[in-house]
Structure 1
Amino acid sequence: MKRLVILLMLLLVLPSSASAWWNKDWAYKKKITLDSKALTDAGVTIPDDAYALIRLHTGNFANFLDLSENGKDFRVMSADEQTPLKFFIEKLDPINEMALLWVKLPKGMATLPEAAVWLYFGNPEAADGQDAGGSFDVTQMLTYAFGKNGVKDLTANALNPVEATSTAAEGGLIAEAAAFNGSQFVRIAPAPALSLKPEQGWTFSVWLNADATQTVDNAVANLAGPKQKLTLSLKNKIPTLTLEEVGGASQSLAGTLPVEPGAWHHLALVATATQLALFVDGKPAGTFPVTLAEFSEELTLGADAKHEHGFVGMMDHLALFKTARDANALGFDALMQGPNSMLLVYGENGTEDAEESGGGSTIVATLNDVTLDGWIIIGMLGVMFVISWIVMIVKTVVLGRNHKENRRFEEAFLKLKAEDISQLNRDMTDDDAQIAESPILLSLTGGHARFAGSSLYNLYHVGVEEMNRRLIRGEGSEATLQTISDKGIDSVRATMESVLVREIQKLNDQMVLLTIAISGGPFLGLLGTVLGVMITFGEIAASGEINVNAIAPGIAAALAATVAGLLVAIPALFGYSYLASRIKIIQADMYIFVDEFTTKLSERYS
């Protein structure tokens, strides 16, 4: 029994330990998971030298304004939140709300129950946590980032080109790309770290977006050595290898899969001492038995050794390894880095307080993704919501009081005989004048006078006052008789009808605000949704990541504006319908009362 209790206690402790907050100085974290189903469907596993390309945008990240300068507060932790992972930021643009981070995944990640990392952020005092040079495996000789500041090697080897005539182009696969027009090239000088030895094997990979105007032969790269030269080119869209013996014969080796122009494709060349292998988008595109020598001289990109037969198009994320990478690793790279990557699943932002309380609400998480323009529109709808409810509550109280006092007055009036028609009338007081200016005050205080708040009594009071002004006393023996001419009765009726119109106007006062809420609320919410969707798709297009996990948070946040609009309009619609029906009843009672009063008046005084 004692052992069972200890076991249960351990089980209770384990979940909290697994989700322990890494460092209290960081305000937020986001879980990023590698989709195991997508990996299985593609037939690949996570290699030991894998990198994750994290693409952040408004569709999956709403905290760009919370980041420190240059993203210094970013930290990436392992799935158990115990081990910091090496990473670097290729691009961070808080204004346009996008970021690109490369993360070196830990070895053995493929064997974990859930392949995931944690992205921490939200510490303005943090020092820069990037380590570009340390992020790369020792087997990675060179990795080029093509940016506005030129072509640079991101690895610790710093094998920067000695000459680069390519131009930086927006709209690259990952960030900026290098554009080649057929006469431009990048030249890398010989270096000990750049020696490609056949006994070790090596791998060259690059993302290409070939122009449709390619000629018959366009060189992508050329490697030179003391004994051989090797050129990788596109010939009629087919990746082709040309191996030349120095001072001797050459052979041309054509791949089996095309590199279609106008789209991004991953092209890789894997070499060993006895063969060359081509891969297009991670799929084998030809294996060729050859005898290779060492390539330790100049490396040229975008042209051949003579800087001719230049490539036309764009290149992005070029890498060179001093090992022969297998098909699984190349397939993973193509899947992770590709324009339609669906490999990463972005979780909601978490906070330490939310974690300690058992996690945050889905609604709260969705609201965290709402953009500034969405909050502005939701704020406007919030004002409309408050105003509409104030109108509905006040009108309900006022109309309820009016209806109640009308019933009391009707009961008293119906008991009057024609000769006692003025019996219910009383003089107006200062309190009546103040209450007339504020019906809600009357409804809340109850009023001191009889029939206070009754629209029927207001008509009655005006009718009696007008009647008294028009009474004509008889002469002689008929001095006690009082009469009103037909024109006088018509005048009384006209005065009562004018007051009736004003009473109707009072009843309908502020109802237009409900109409505005009903008709304007949904359209204002729709405006917020359209703006949010436009921003979300714009950021997704800019980041190059197209999957449901990237789109869903932004769309859900955008739809929050429509929900807010409906929350304004639906109660206002029901309230308007109810209040309008009550107003119609009171209005009908007033019309009937005017007829009843003038009929009794005619009966008594005409």
Structure 2
Amino acid sequence: MRSDARQAFRLSVRALMAVFTLALVLGGTAGSAQAWWNDEWSLRKKITLDTSPMGAGITDAVGTMPILVRLHVGNFRFGQAKEDGSDLRFVASDDKTPLKHHIEKYDALLGEALLWVNVPNIQPGAKADVWLYYGNKKATSVSDPKGTYGSETVLVYHFAERGTPAQDASVWANAAQNAGQAADGSQIGTGARLDGSTAITIPASTSLTFAQDGQLTWSILAKLAALQRNAVLYSRREGTNALLIGFDDGAPFVEITANGTTQRTAAGPPVAPGGWHHIGMVATPGLVTLYLDGNPYASLAATLPPLNSVALLGGDTTVASAPAAETPVSPSSNTSASSGETVGQSAQPTADTATPAAPDASASPAPAPTAVAPPSASVATSGFAGDVDELVIIKAARPAGYIKATAINQGSNPTKLVVFAPEEETSSWMSGHFGVLLRSVTVDGWIVIGILLVMAVASWMVMVEKTSYLGRQRKANSLFMAQFRLLDDDLTALAVARNTSESISRKERAVRRNSSLHRLYQIAASEIHRRYPVAHSSRPLVLSAETIGAIRSAVDAGVVREVQRLNRMMVILTIAISGGPFLGLLGTVIGVMITFAAIAMSGDVNINAIAPGVAGALVATVAGLAVAIPALFGYNWLTLRIRDLTSDMQVFVEELTSRMAETYSSNRPDPVEQHRLAAE
């Protein structure tokens, strides 16, 4: 009994270890691509951000940035998501961390959606994954425009409004003061159309204040309607300081006026009208870099002046007060100027001459020397005519990789950076009705199911081990009986061979280790040797009936021990058969009680409130039956095999007793006398 108790304890420990190992395996799998962030979402899609040479080819630092995700019928199942996209969730590559996002546009009918996702720490020359989950009709919207951008982002205009001023998607709420004309079919959804005469006014605010020698990142998507001279896209003036960004005959420029001294970036290759281009500007102390479509276009050795005034998008606040003859501007030269005067102020002409700015050695290609206009001069400017989209102002200097990734992501070929994989669905055991059942199981039900799982693993291990053991014993018994039936005069010959130092075959070792008949035979041989230690004497060995009876009694005792060994741990199966359903029923009853108690407390009596709890409670009963039914089949099968082996042992004992009576009888002729008579 103590041996059985120890064996049962060891088996229980092994079962618990097996369950723990299975949990670890499933947990390890959950950390891989097979994981699922939340089982309430039935579909997901992997989105890869590829900055490697095979993708966007970005080698400079990128960092954290909002990524535009364009969804259409070719890469997204709109019919499986909610009509307003409120069930969309973005999760980081670890499949644990939700990412902030917001929806700019979601049209399930047309199959179009524009979403912005804040992706942290994008690395250059590498790939990063983001998971898009959807397919949960009960989900509520978590769209968070303010959380998508960091606090350094002080203005974001999507221009998705119609008939109302552009709203700021950043946390600072710097909405425009007047509405612009909507432009359908823009680069990103709906944009704004500027006619060159009516500009969009951006109010002055504390968050939009530019500090002296401050850092700034400015970007926009623009499409020229036609080539224009000194077309100002963005202007901000305050006293003798100003910042202008625009196009001069299709060549983008940045013009900075600090304390009345104006500098403009050198002109490079112009862009053609009718096409969308990304314009970016990054200002750091002593250097201003202009980007075109993500690539450095020109640079300026200048510092951002302090500005705390209103800004115009699509126009300039200056008035032309000096004739062109006084401040000549050659189309072939890289000189221009502006007076930096605000509306209502007159330019004050002086005799100062322009001094060239030092060229920036880091610009590629190296621009020609930039001319500085006299602080009193004023160049006639015009408002920008064309379409714009996605204006972003950040009071920090973003790296070159950030600008390039933004230009590619918002450009006409975003698939170089953002790659969509096919949809994945939840595995069948966690989706559909069965997934609802598992999610409805209460804590006490999971405790009962855990106990049943341990019982199930223990019963399965018993069935596997017993089946293997009985198979080996049956095979070994067949091999031993073939050897035993070859014995003639000395029935103990096999036992003698066991004690010799000669090597034995692998088959022989298997017989001696697994055969129950060999162990019974060994008992009989040991009893014979104990009574007659001198073997191979000149006189034949004679056993009396009393001695044969005593030897049989010893062998019968061995049979009892062998039967006990065959039935060892079978009690685990009987416990699983009888105890499994009752434990499952206990879990079901407790689950139903908790469900009705919760309904009584809430007062919500309807089928939707009752059904999940009752269905989840019944899972415990199913688990109990799942433990008992395999154990019942296994128990009956093993019992039949054990009965056959027990019958083989009983038959062997009878055969062994008969052979001993025949071989060692007192009526057996003396072999010495038989040999003498044969010689005569």
Which TM-score tier does this pair reach, normalised by the shorter chain? 0.5 to 0.7
1:421 counterpart residue number: none
Structure 2 unpaired stretches of 5+:
1-13, 320-380, 432-680
Q: Secondary structure at the match of 1:267?
A: strand
CA distance in 2, matches of 1:46, 1:326: 6
Measured at CA, do residues 181 and 40 of structure 1 come closer, stay the same or move farther in structure 2, by a change above 3 Å? same
Aligned counterpart in structure 1 of residue 206 of structure 2, from 182, 189, 192: 192
Selected match of 1:295 from 281, 295, 307 = 307
Query: 2:189, 2:47 → 1: CA distance?
Result: 21
CA contact (8 A) 1:257 1:280 kept: no
Q: Is the CA contact 1:104–1:135 (under 8 Å) kept in the aligned structure 2?
A: yes
Partner of 1:161: 176
State the distance in 2 between where 1:13 and 1:180 align. 56
Letter in 2 for 1:20: A
Q: Which residue of 2 aligns with 1:178?
A: 192
Q: Which runs of 4+ in 1 moved over 6 A?
A: 5-9
Q: 1:550-565 counterparts in 2 under 5 A?
A: none
Q: Distance in 2 between matches of 1:280 and 1:71?
A: 34
Verify: 1:250 aligned to 2:262, yes or no. yes
| Cα deviations by residue, 1:462-498 (Å, 9 ceiling, x for unpaired) | xxxxxxxxxxxxxxxxxxxxxxxxxxxxxxxxxxxxx
Q: Report the counterpart of residue 286 of structure 2 in structure 1.
A: 274
Helix, strand or coil for the counterpart of 1:142?
Answer: strand
Give deviations 1:105-152, integer Å, cap 9, x for gaps.
023x42898511111111121111111001101111111011243311
Counterpart among 139, 143, 165 of residue 126 in structure 1: 139
What is the aligned partner in structure 1 of residue 391 from structure 2? 318
2:421 paired residue among 347, 350, 360? 347
Name the SS for the 1:192 alignment partner.
coil
Check the 8 A contact 1:227/1:293 in 2, yes or no: no
Bigger proportion of residues as helix: 1
Tell me if the contact between 2:59 and 2:401 (Cα under 8 Å) persists in the aligned partners. Answer: yes
Is the CA contact (8 Å cut-off) linking 1:226 and 1:294 kept in structure 2? no
CA distance, structure 1, for counterparts of residue 216 and residue 126 of structure 2: 32
Which residue of structure 2 lines up, in the alignment, with residue 33 of structure 1? 48
Is residue 51 of structure 1 aligned with residue 125 of structure 2? Answer: no
Structure 2 CA distance, aligned partners of 1:266 and 1:140?
Answer: 18
Distance 1:260 1:69, change over 3 A: same
Deviation at 1:195, TM superposition (A): 0.7
Query: SS where residue 328 of structure 1 aligns?
Result: helix
Moved more, 94-103 or 43-52: 43-52
Superposed displacement of residue 243, structure 1: 2.7
- Greater RCO, CA 8 A, separation 6+: 1
Supply the distance in 2 between the matched residues of 1:334 and 1:113 (Cα, whole angstroms).
18
Q: Using a 3 Å threshold, how does the CA distance of structure 1 residues 124 and 7 change in structure 2: closer, same or farther? A: closer
1:142 corresponds in structure 2 to: 155
Question: Which amino acid in structure 2 is aligned with residue 93 of structure 1?
Answer: D
Cα separation, partners in 2 of 1:222 and 1:35, compared to 1, 3 Å: same
Q: Identity percentage over the alignment?
A: 31
- Give 1:292 deviation, angstroms: 3.3
Query: 1:133-176 CA distances to partner (integer Å, 9 max, x unpaired)?
Result: 01101111111011243311111111011124x31111111110
Alpha carbons 2:228, 2:250 under 8 Å: kept:
no
Shift of 1:250: 3.0
Taking the TM superposition and a 5 Å limit, the aligned residue runs for 1:448-459 are none
**If the length of structure 1 is used for normalisation, what is the TM-score?**
0.54
Q: Aligned residue for 2:575? A: none
Q: CA deviation at 1:178?
A: 0.5
Asked whether the 8 Å contact 1:227–1:294 carries over to 2, the reply is no
Tell me, yes or no, if the aligned pair for 2:69 and 2:114 is still in contact at 8 Å. yes
| SS of residue matched to 1:254 | coil
Residues 157, 143 of structure 1: alpha-carbon distance in 2 compared, 3 angstrom cutoff: same
**SS of aligned partner of 1:146:** coil
Aligned residue identity for 1:324: A
SS in 1 for 2:136: coil
Q: 1:252 to 1:31 in 2, by over 3 A?
A: closer
Structure 1 position 267, deviation (Å): 0.5
Select the residue among 101, 106, 118 that pairs with 1:92: 106
Deviation at 1:189, TM superposition (A): 1.6
- Once residues 7 and 225 of structure 1 are traced to their aligned partners in structure 2, the CA distance between those partners, rounded to angstroms, is 70
- Identify the range of structure 1 (256-265 vs 202-211) with the bigger mean alpha-carbon deviation: 256-265
Residues 354 and 102 of structure 1: is their aligned pair in 2 closer, same or farther, counting only changes over 3 Å? farther
Q: Does residue 72 of structure 1 match 2:145?
A: no
Shift of the 14–302 alpha-carbon distance from structure 1 to 2, 3 Å rule, reads: same
The aligned amino acid for 2:413 is N
- Compared CA separation, residues 75 and 315, structure 1 to 2 (3 A): same
Shift of the 124–40 alpha-carbon distance from structure 1 to 2, 3 Å rule, reads closer
The verdict on how the C-alpha distance between 1:7 and 1:26 changes in structure 2, with shifts beyond 3 A counting, is closer
Please name the residue that 2:31 is paired with. 17
- What is the one-letter code of the residue matched to 1:272? T
Q: CA deviation at 1:341?
A: 1.5
